């Protein structure tokens, strides 16, 4: 998919909500966090929401950077590699207690597993299977509506 | 003269008969006064009327078949459109494909083969441009990875285009996929072979499409199809030689030393294997790169001494473009770009932007993004560098003022910045792929004259965003066009697999709005994809 700004944001929000939501549900009980499952879910879903909200800002930045590319495309690897700065920012905010709604503390290992799996799943779906239910999506810059 | 299908020559290549004779008002096959009534051929009344009544066609004795959707051409453009419609729930008895081709990829396979992309070589378009799969999933790279048990294609897609060349599928894989999909959707049930002569509006709505069937296959010379919807996908109106090369060929009746890369020219490579040759190439597009690759591959493989002189009209020496946001790579004469337009015209920012541009603004945008270009491929770069260093590959910039034959060599007098230079070569290969004007295609000429179709800022067929041919509506009937004949519209990537699919989607959605088929929503899309995956009929 070759994104437009609107398409980027829509795709991110929907994929994080649906794919990210499912992955978060599945991995919740398996994460190395010593807290009741309800607390684990609260924290991981708050993190998911943070990735989505902060992501709107990130997407604006990516869109700006993309303007330097002649093809106005966003190579597949960029979509994967941007996990690093985005993950770091969420971690820093988490450590600073700047993300509202977090109960207790999230161990680094649990964060890395949670964040990486969600990211990977979203990236994989965006790079192929997404085209099956939404045949217009790739021709509309990633917009769904 | 006959306009029966000529099987040896696909319609898209330079026809044997002179272009002026191929089309245009003066070129009508039937005499101006037309055939006699009841003869099963075009009467004078039919030839001259913009709109036909059922009675007029009946009086001519031309048998009429009713079919709601007719696609003309039967190449890749028709194929992907019919594929969409079949998936949108249209049965085979509601579609007719009128074509002089036996199978949809016939012209494409011919053009790629002669221009040096045999089945094992890779084509230009990317992993998700799959004319045999409307979803583009699984992509060619994924299919190749699974089929050949290797991660390499997926790795390449992951790191392209920065750390590797764009992944592109092998021609053979593309053809095999098309063959499978063709069987799945029942292509042969819809195919009617012959040469389409014209499309005219029908009084009361819809159109008549006149087909000249294969000789001897029917009782009458013509057949008529009465359709509500017509789709035109006739490919290239014709490919032409550079004017000076055409003149040379005509003057010397020499079709051996001056060849087009879009025609059979294997004899050039064969000659290179028997003696020392100098080959002159014209053009800086991907076909020039291909021919160059073949010459260089053979040189290395058989230890040949072939010399190559590459003449550019416009020499690109570095990155170029109006500002930092619009700079395309270039070097050694070539403008480099993965595909024939920047990638995002097929779905991203540039597609969205072009959709809004009109008239001159659109013309300017085309100029900026298009033009002759070729992909940057590491292998080609290495070969060309070797040739430049060793002196057997030389580039020149200029225009050819004159050509003559001297002792079996073709002497081109080239006007360069430093004055006139004479270049002697054994063969000249024209790789420019100049396309003929749309009016050189008989069906299109007829449409321009009789059906209200017009031209866009680039002089091709003027289509709406939905690919409806502007000005040609007939009551509830609609005519659509896709492919090279529509270049210059709101969507630039028309002459590519993916572009044809973009058009097909717009057309299918428009037809769904008009009640002809289902709109492919999420549920239908998923269930139909599952059918595709299991090779079940749509
Ligand atoms: C050398 C070369 C390489 C290319 N590589 C790529 C690539 O890698 N990827 C890509 O996406 N695109 C590529 N293209 C572009 C490619 O040709 C198009 O994507 C595609 O084949 C065009 O499909 P079409 O239906 O418009 O034309 P075609 O497939 O040519 O089909 C149109 C056919 O209609 C038939 N026809 C015309 N007039 C009539 C008539 N009056 N009656 C009956 N039949 C008629 C003719 O047989 C004609 O061939 C390449 C083109 C060339 C020349």
pLDDT number for residue B24 = 40
Q: Chain A: nearest CA to B499, how far in angstroms? A: 10
Quick one: which atom of ligand 1 is closest to the CA of B197? 41
Q: Is B458 exposed, middle or buried (0-12, 13-18, 19+ CB in 10 A)?
A: middle
B82 lines ligand 1 (CB under 6 A): no
Where in chain B are the domains? 60-105+179-237+437-533, 243-317+373-430
Is it the case that residue B477 has pLDDT exceeding 80?
Answer: yes
pTM of the entire structure? 0.93
Quick one: which atom of ligand 1 is closest to the CA of B129? 11
pLDDT in tens, A72-83: 999 999 999 999
pLDDT number for residue B32 = 56
pLDDT band with cut points at 50, 70 and 90 for residue B22 = very low
B30/B289: higher pLDDT: B289
Average pLDDT over residues B57-62: 96
Count of beta carbons in the 10 Å neighbourhood of residue A138: 24
Residue A38 token pair = 């309800």
The pairing of strands B258-260 and B427-430 is parallel
pLDDT in tens, B85-94: 999 999 999 9
pLDDT band with cut points at 50, 70 and 90 for residue B217 = confident
Residue with CA nearest ligand 1 atom 45: B73
pLDDT in tens, B479-508: 999 999 999 999 999 999 999 999 999 999
Average pLDDT over residues B218-226: 95
pLDDT number for residue B204 = 95
Fold matches, B60-105+179-237+437-533 and B243-317+373-430: yes
Residue A88 forms contact with B (CB below 8 Å): no
Alpha carbon of B231 to ligand 1 centroid (Å):
15
pLDDT number for residue B166 = 95
Q: Taking a contact as any Cβ pair under 8 Å apart, which residues of chain B between 470 and 529 contact chain A?
A: 502, 505, 520, 522, 525-526, 529
The Cα B51–Cα B69 span in angstroms is: 19
Is it the case that residue B13 has pLDDT exceeding 80?
Answer: no
Residue A124 forms contact with B (CB below 8 Å): no
B75 lines ligand 1 (CB under 6 A): yes
Sheet holding B409-416, edge to edge: B399-406, B409-416, B419-425
pLDDT in tens, B281-333: 999 999 999 999 999 999 999 999 999 999 999 999 999 988 888 899 999 99
| Topology (CATH) of B60-105+179-237+437-533 | FAD/NAD(P)-binding domain (3.50.50)
C-alpha distance across the termini of chain A, in Å = 15
Alpha carbon of A63 to ligand 1 centroid (Å):
35
Phi, psi (deg, nearest 5) at residue A113: -65, -50
Task: Tell me the ipTM for this assembly.
Answer: 0.95
For A81-85, B57-61, B362-366, which range has the lowest pLDDT when averaged over its residues? Answer: B362-366
Alpha carbon of B97 to ligand 1 centroid (Å):
15
Place of tokens 């292509």: B187
Residue A68 forms contact with B (CB below 8 Å): yes
pLDDT number for residue B20 = 36
pLDDT number for residue B183 = 98
pLDDT in tens, B168-177: 999 999 999 9
Q: What is the mean pLDDT of chain B?
A: 92
The Cα B493–Cα B502 span in angstroms is: 9
pLDDT band with cut points at 50, 70 and 90 for residue B16 = very low
Instruction: Give the helix/strand (H/E) hosting B51.
Output: strand B51-52
Chain B, nearest residue to A136 by Cα:
B505
pLDDT in tens, A26-83: 999 999 999 999 999 999 999 999 999 999 999 999 999 999 999 999 999 999 999 9
Domain B243-317+373-430, CATH number (from 3.20.20.10, 3.30.70.2740, 1.10.3720.10, 3.50.50.60): 3.50.50.60
Give B-chain residues touching A62 at CB under 8 angstroms.
Answer: none
Give B-chain residues touching A7 at CB under 8 angstroms.
Answer: 348
Residue with CA nearest ligand 1 atom 53: B111
Average pLDDT over residues B340-362: 93
Mutate to test the interface with B, among A70, A75, A81, A83 (most CBs of B within 10 A): A70
Alpha carbon of B495 to ligand 1 centroid (Å):
8
């Amino acid at each position: 998919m070759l994104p437009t700004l609107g398409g980027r944001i829509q795709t991110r929000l929907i994929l994080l909500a649906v794919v990210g939501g499912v992955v978060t549900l599945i991995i919740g009980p398996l994460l190395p966090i010593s807290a009741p499952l309800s607390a684990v879910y609260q924290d991981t879903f708050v993190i998911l929401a943070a990735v989505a909200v902060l992501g709107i800002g990130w997407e604006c930045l990516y869109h700006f950077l993309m303007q330097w590319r002649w093809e106005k495309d966003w190579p597949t690897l960029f979509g994967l590699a941007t996990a690093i700065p985005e993950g770091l920012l969420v971690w820093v905010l988490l450590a600073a207690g700047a993300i509202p709604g977090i109960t207790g503390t999230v161990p680094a290992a649990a964060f890395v597993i949670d964040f990486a799996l969600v990211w990977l799943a979203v990236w994989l779906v965006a790079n192929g299977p997404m085209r099956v239910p939404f045949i217009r999506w790739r021709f509309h810059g990633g917009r769904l509506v | 003269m006959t306009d029966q299908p000529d099987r040896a020559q696909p319609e898209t290549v330079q026809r044997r008969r002179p272009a002026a004779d191929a089309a245009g008002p003066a070129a009508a096959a039937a005499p101006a006064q037309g055939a006699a009534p009841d003869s099963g051929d075009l009467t004078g009344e039919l030839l001259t009327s913009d709109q036909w009544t059922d009675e007029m066609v009946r009086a001519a004795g031309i048998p009429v078949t009713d079919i709601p959707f007719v696609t003309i051409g039967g190449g890749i453009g028709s194929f992907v459109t019919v594929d969409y419609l079949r998936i949108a729930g249209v049965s085979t008895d509601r579609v007719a494909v009128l074509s002089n081709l036996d199978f949809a990829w016939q012209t494409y396979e011919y053009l790629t083969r002669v221009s040096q992309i045999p089945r094992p070589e890779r084509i230009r378009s990317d992993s998700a441009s799959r004319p045999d799969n409307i979803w583009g999933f699984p992509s060619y790279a994924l299919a190749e990875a699974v089929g050949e048990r290797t991660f390499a294609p997926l790795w390449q897609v992951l790191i392209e285009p920065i750390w590797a060349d764009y992944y592109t599928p092998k021609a053979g894989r593309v053809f095999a996929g098309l063959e499978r999909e063709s069987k799945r959707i029942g292509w042969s049930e819809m195919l009617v072979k012959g040469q389409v002569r014209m499309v005219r509006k029908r009084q009361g709505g819809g159109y008549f499409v006149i087909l000249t069937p294969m000789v001897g296959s029917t009782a009458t010379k013509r057949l008529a199809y009465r359709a509500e919807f017509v789709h035109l996908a006739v490919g290239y109106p014709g490919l032409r030689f550079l004017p000076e090369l055409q003149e040379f060929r005509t003057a010397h009746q020499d079709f051996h030393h001056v060849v087009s890369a879009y025609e059979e020219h294997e004899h050039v490579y064969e000659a290179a294997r028997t003696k020392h040759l100098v080959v002159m190439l014209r053009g800086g597009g991907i076909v020039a790169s291909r021919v160059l690759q073949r010459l260089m591959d053979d040189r290395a493989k058989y230890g040949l001494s072939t010399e190559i002189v590459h003449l550019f009209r416009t020499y690109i020496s570095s990155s170029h473009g109006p500002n930092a946001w619009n700079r395309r790579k270039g070097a050694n004469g070539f403008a480099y770009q993965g595909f024939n337009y920047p990638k995002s015209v097929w779905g991203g920012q540039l597609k969205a932007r072009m959709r809004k541009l009109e008239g001159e603004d659109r013309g300017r945008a085309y100029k900026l993004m298009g033009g002759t270009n070729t992909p940057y491929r590491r292998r080609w770069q290495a070969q060309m560098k070797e040739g430049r260093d060793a002196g057997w590959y030389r580039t020149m910039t200029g225009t050819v003022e004159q050509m003559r034959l001297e002792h079996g060599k073709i002497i081109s007098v080239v006007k360069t910045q430093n004055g006139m230079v004479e270049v002697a070569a054994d063969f000249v290969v024209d790789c420019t792929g100049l396309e003929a004007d749309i009016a050189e295609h008989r069906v299109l000429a007829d449409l321009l004259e009789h059906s209200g179709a017009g031209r866009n800022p680039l002089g091709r067929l003027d289509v709406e965003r939905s690919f409806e041919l502007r000005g040609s509506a007939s009551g509830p009937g609609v005519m659509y066009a896709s492919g090279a004949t529509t270049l210059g519209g709101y969507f630039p990537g028309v002459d590519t697999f993916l572009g044809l699919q973009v058009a097909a989607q717009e057309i299918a959605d428009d037809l769904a709005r008009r009640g002809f088929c289902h709109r492919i929503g999420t549920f239908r899309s998923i269930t139909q994809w599952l059918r595709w995956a299991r090779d079940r009929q749509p």
